[in-house]
């Protein structure tokens, strides 16, 4: 007999993708409930090719007979409702930033640190990292095993899908507007996103670092190694779906390029697309709809004794969000932490 699963934020981009991924991967659910913040509901969402779920309101929802809950509705909903669901006995997989850095909540990318899922027994909450942290962790973990990464410089190129449907609509409207000389003013972003790059993802702190940049540095330490020092720069780019990162890593020990290529080719969740020729690399447009993290442009960083640089990309909504969350849930099932 399967388990009862709930998806909070089922009407959002990531919530819909979670439902799609659960169906595609034949997750062992006997019942799936779609929830949205507030008391409302009534909308309908697809679950698989043939099933349609009517969305229920989150306020006051009784989680006592629910085994597993995905939270994809933002920090405010997670902050109040995720602990309530966990206290009722459900296991929570949270995609917001609310619990990522709490020491007794595991932060998990299965390809990088699947074993830490077992720590969810205490709080009954597992956190998923942001899309760029997930992307970099999948690519960096096999290289870290070769030479122990000491320092990483990450430049994240983040698609508008990570900011929600309204942000995607804004990119579309501004792109169209440029051609008809009627560009609508920015509402979802601080500046025009169409045909532009915005060097800000998240609020800028007093130290000049955005919240997302600080989060990536901290999340990579929790995902890869507590001794790893990282600095990140995040840019919002005029791409609908598909996050990418340029990564420069300094290792404690020498890592030969051929060994790095071999390790990446054998790593779970990684596809190496790296030919040293014109167009021999992956781009966000090519990875949209794909599950893997694509790694390209691997080369030596000659400014440090043991350095490598590489480019990586993945689908914002899949491995960057929904797929990672479902893989976490599959680990919970495998360890019999939820059944």
**pLDDT one-digit tens code per residue, 202-247:** 999 999 999 999 999 999 999 999 999 999 999 999 999 999 999 9
Q: Please tell me the pTM assigned to this model.
A: 0.94
Confidence grade of residue 40 (pLDDT, cut at 50, 70, 90): low
Distances (CA, A) of 14 to 69, 108, 135, 279: 14, 17, 16, 30
pLDDT exceeds 70 at position 256: yes
| Residues 93-109 pLDDT 10s | 999 999 999 999 999 99
46 burial (CB, 10 Å; 0-12 / 13-18 / 19+) is middle
**Spatial CA neighbour of 96 closest among 57, 60, 126, 123:** 126
CB 113 within 8 A of CB 97: no
| Residues 160-189 pLDDT 10s | 999 999 999 999 999 999 999 998 999 999
Confidence grade of residue 38 (pLDDT, cut at 50, 70, 90): confident
- Asked whether the domain spanning 132-316 has the same topology as the one spanning 3-130+321-334, the reply is no
**What CATH number should be reported for the domain whose range is 132-316?**
3.30.360.10
CATH architecture, domain defined by 3-130+321-334? 3-Layer(aba) Sandwich (3.40)
CA dihedral 134, 156, 196, 174 (to 10 degrees): 10
| Residues 124-170 pLDDT 10s | 999 999 999 999 999 999 999 999 999 999 999 999 999 999 999 99
What is the token pair recorded at 165? 């449907």
**Domain ranges for the chain:** 3-130+321-334, 132-316
**Spatial CA neighbour of 93 closest among 65, 133, 123:** 123
């Amino acid at each position: 007999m399967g388990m009862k699963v709930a998806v909070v934020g089922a009407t959002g981009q990531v919530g819909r993708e979670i439902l799609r991924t659960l169906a595609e991967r034949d997750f062992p659910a006997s019942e799936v409930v779609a929830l949205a913040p507030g008391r409302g509901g009534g909308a309908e969402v697809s679950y698989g090719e043939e099933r349609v779920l009517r969305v229920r309101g989150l306020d006051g929802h009784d989680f006592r007979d629910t085994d597993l809950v995905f939270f994809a509705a933002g920090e405010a909903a997670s902050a109040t409702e995720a602990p309530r669901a966990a206290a009722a006995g459900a296991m929570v997989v949270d995609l917001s930033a609310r619990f990522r850095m709490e020491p007794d909540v595991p932060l998990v990318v299965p390809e990088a640190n699947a074993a830490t899922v077992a720590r969810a027994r205490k709080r009954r909450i597992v956190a998923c990292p942001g899309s760029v942290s997930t992307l970099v962790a999948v690519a960096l973990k096999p290289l870290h095993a070769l030479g122990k990464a000491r320092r990483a410089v990450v430049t994240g190129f983040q698609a508008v899908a990570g900011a929600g449907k309204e942000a995607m609509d804004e990119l579309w409207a501004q792109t169209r507007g440029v051609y008809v000389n009627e560009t609508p003013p920015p509402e979802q972003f601080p500046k025009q996103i169409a045909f532009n790059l915005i060097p800000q993802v998240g609020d800028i702190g007093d130290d000049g670092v955005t919240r997302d940049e600080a989060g990536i540095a901290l999340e990579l330490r929790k995902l890869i190694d507590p001794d790893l020092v990282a600095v990140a720069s995040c840019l919002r780019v005029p791409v609908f779906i598909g996050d990418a990162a340029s990564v420069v890593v300094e290792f404690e020990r020498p890592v030969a390029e051929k060994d790095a290529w071999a390790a990446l080719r054998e790593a779970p969740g990684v596809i190496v697309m790296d030919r040293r020729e014109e167009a021999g690399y992956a781009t966000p447009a090519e990875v949209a709809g794909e599950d893997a993290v694509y790694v390209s442009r691997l080369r030596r960083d000659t400014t440090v004794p043991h350095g490598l640089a590489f480019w990586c990309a993945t689908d914002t909504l899949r491995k960057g969000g929904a797929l990672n969350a479902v893989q976490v849930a599959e680990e919970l099932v495998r360890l019999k932490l939820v059944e």
